[in-house]
Amino acid sequence: MQNCTSLVSITLPTSVTQIDNQAFRDCTLLATITIPASVTQIGESAFYNCISLASITIPASVTQIGEHAFRGCTSLASITLPASVTQIDW
């Protein structure tokens, strides 16, 4: 999905267990993403430069968030992190 500059919204299916490194990098119009409870990891630079993303809720199943996962998300005003997150790499 990297560089999908017209992608505005996505709902990930429950078959997804991790969001890979740079999965949504430079998806500059991505404003909303629904992450299912099946996801346990968010990779490095997964949402890098998603400048339209204003808020994100991380499900309780996620334990790791990779380095620079939200770097360059200049509109990001709210992140809801569950207690299950044990590692955030910056």
Q: What is the pLDDT of residues 1-17, one digit of tens each?
A: 899 999 999 999 999 99
Contacts of 74 (CB under 8 A, 6+ apart): 51
Strands 41-42 and 64-65: parallel
pTM for this one? 0.93
Number of domains comprising the chain: 1
CATH number, residue 76: 3.80.10.10
Q: What is the mean pLDDT of the segment spanning 23-51? A: 98
pLDDT of residue 36: 98
Domain range enclosing 31: 1-90
**pLDDT tens per residue, range 71-89:** 999 999 999 999 999 999 8
Q: Is the pLDDT of residue 90 over 90?
A: no
Contact 9, 31 (CB under 8 A): yes
How far, CA to CA in Å, does 54 sit from each of 15, 18, 86?
25, 21, 23
| Neighbouring C-beta atoms of residue 35, cutoff 10 Å | 18
Mean pLDDT of the chain: 97
- β-partners of residue 9 are 32
